[in-house]
Amino acid sequence: MTQAATSKARVYKYYDLLMTGFVTVLLCANLIGPAKVGYITFPFSIPLLGDNLSFGAGNLFFPFGYIFGDVLTEVYGYARARKVIWAGFGAMLFATGMAWVIVHLPPSPNEPFNTVIQPAIETIFGNTWRIVCASIIAFWAGDFVNSYVMAKMKILTQGRWLWTRTIGSTVLGQGVDSMLFYPLAFMGIWTFDTLLGVVVFNWIFKITVEIVMTPVTYVVVNKLKRAENEDYLDVATDFTPFSLKV
């Protein structure tokens, strides 16, 4: 394992690219995803879910964000993953603020097409304050739980059994994410049964994607460890989320 003391001054080849990928997935989830509600019909009734389900298309992006988080924490350590999470948090705030500005910007009366496109812009980018706040809070808490569990389990397992860390951290991180986002965004709007069904489905769906993608995570992690000559173990890390120090 690379020692913490020798890693702090390191310059990495691919860290910035992974940060960019993580932020891109996060912004897509929050800007593209809310534009559509998906619908699935099951061939049989599933407990808590029934035989059909509607879900926000943004959920398709979040599992990939957690895979980015797993790779970042596994290779570069919790502190550098924390920096990426804060970068994503800042990007979400900026995008949300600019979306509000664009939605409320008076359309030019000299452009007839504005009368057609303005309602679409409001539908796609005009999320309510509850959904925006719930999304930001759930992302922040869920990603930090994911990274923290990943780093602590790596210490506990002495760097072995990567699959236990990727899946275990996703179980807890996505659990926190789903249990925060949906009640904060839709409590009092959806019935309790609908709310519970959506939370359970999204939690299971995201864990399933993590499990299916585990071989890909192994390949990416192993290649990055060799390319970066890094395999960070957070034995001396300050695990506070409120820092950008690496």
- Residue 218: Cβ within 10 Å count: 13
- Residue 49: per-residue pLDDT: 65
167: phi then psi, degrees, rounded to nearest 5: -75, -45
Does the domain at 4-228 match CATH 1.10.3470? Answer given as no
Q: Which two tokens stand for residue 130?
A: 């509850």
With a cut of 80, say whether residue 37 has pLDDT above it: no
Per-residue pLDDT, averaged over 22-33, amounts to 86
% of residues, the chain, pLDDT over 70: 92
Per-residue pLDDT, averaged over 82-88, amounts to 96
Angle between helices 162-186 and 192-212 (to 10 degrees): 160
Instruction: Read off the pLDDT band of 5 (50, 70, 90).
Output: very low
Per-residue pLDDT, averaged over 114-119, amounts to 84
Q: Are 197 and 117 in contact (CB under 8 A)?
A: no
With a cut of 80, say whether residue 223 has pLDDT above it: yes
- Residue 9: per-residue pLDDT: 64
Angle between helices 15-31 and 62-76 (to 10 degrees): 160
Among 63, 65, 89, smallest CA distance to 203 is for 63
Cα dist. 170→23, 55, 64, 143 in Å?
18, 20, 11, 9
**At a CB cut-off of 8 Å and minimum separation 6, what does 121 contact?**
102, 103
Averaged pLDDT score across all residues of the chain = 87
Strand partners of residue 41: 52
